[in-house]
């Protein structure tokens, strides 16, 4: 009788183990937004390269390269993107120095651009077909729009030492200005 209870107990434990194993959640693959965010975080570092602006702007010429700093922060939950003309001091009162934050929110990859125009456009990433490109579309704007606002951003990873950024700015009257930056890693 004791041995029968022992066998029954062992059988119940085995069945419970099998049932628990089958019902235990299995780790799921990262969402596309998480994969895109991870690819963007891999760009952390310093980058420099020429800027091509269309329509051309007298103060923005390819002989004045841009410096981009990308830094992972907030325990890996945000990516800080800082932009300035290469070779200038970090003095936001004297030089352009926009800051962009990229982060996940409820499974959606977001971008908020703290613009020198005094506003904060928010954009959301769209699904990527290639896996090498993360493209952000305008959602809404905080702050004034008298001086225009950033409207679209595309990050294309070529390899670990080379990426391209394309930014579209809507000037007053909704006239688009496109900046293309061909960036090489400096560290």
Instruction: Output the domain CATH number for residue 119.
Output: 2.40.128.20
State the pLDDT at residue 58.
74
- Residue 19 resides in a domain: no
- Residue 111 resides in a domain: yes
Task: Determine the structural domain holding residue 162 and report its residue range.
Answer: 29-185
* 5-14, 71-80, 105-114, 137-146: the lowest-pLDDT one: 5-14
Chain segment 14-64, per-residue pLDDT in tens: 444 444 445 555 668 889 999 999 999 999 999 999 999 999 877 666 668
- Residue 2 resides in a domain: no
- Residue 137 resides in a domain: yes
The total domain count for the chain is: 1
Q: What is the C-alpha to C-alpha distance for residues 57 and 60, in angstroms, rounded to an integer? A: 5
- Residue 120 resides in a domain: yes
Q: What is the C-alpha to C-alpha distance for residues 66 and 79, in angstroms, rounded to an integer? A: 19
Q: What is the pTM of this model?
A: 0.82
Average pLDDT across the chain, whole number: 86
Chain segment 71-98, per-residue pLDDT in tens: 999 999 999 999 998 988 877 676 788 9
Burial of 30: CB neighbours in 10 Å, binned 0-12, 13-18, 19+: exposed
The residue to which tokens 């930014």 are assigned:
167
- Residue 83 resides in a domain: yes
- Residue 4 resides in a domain: no
């Amino acid at each position: 009788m004791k041995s029968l209870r022992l066998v029954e107990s062992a059988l119940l434990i085995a069945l419970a183990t099998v049932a628990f194993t089958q019902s235990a959640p299995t780790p799921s693959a990262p969402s596309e937004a998480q994969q895109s965010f991870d690819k963007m975080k891999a760009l952390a570092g310093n980058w420099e390269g020429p800027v091509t602006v269309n329509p051309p702007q007298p103060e923005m010429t390819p002989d004045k390269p841009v410096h981009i700093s990308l830094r992972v922060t907030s325990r890996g939950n945000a990516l800080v993107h800082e932009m300035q003309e290469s070779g200038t001091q970090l003095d936001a009162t004297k030089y352009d120095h926009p800051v962009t934050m990229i982060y996940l929110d409820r499974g959606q990859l977001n971008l908020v651009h703290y613009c020198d125009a005094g506003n904060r456009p928010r954009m959301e990433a769209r699904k990527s077909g290639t896996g090498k490109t993360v493209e952000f579309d305008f959602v809404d704007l905080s702050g004034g729009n008298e001086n225009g606002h950033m409207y679209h951003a595309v990050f294309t990873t070529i390899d670990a030492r080379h990426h391209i950024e394309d930014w579209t700015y809507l000037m007053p009257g909704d006239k688009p200005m496109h900046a293309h930056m061909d960036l090489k890693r400096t560290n």
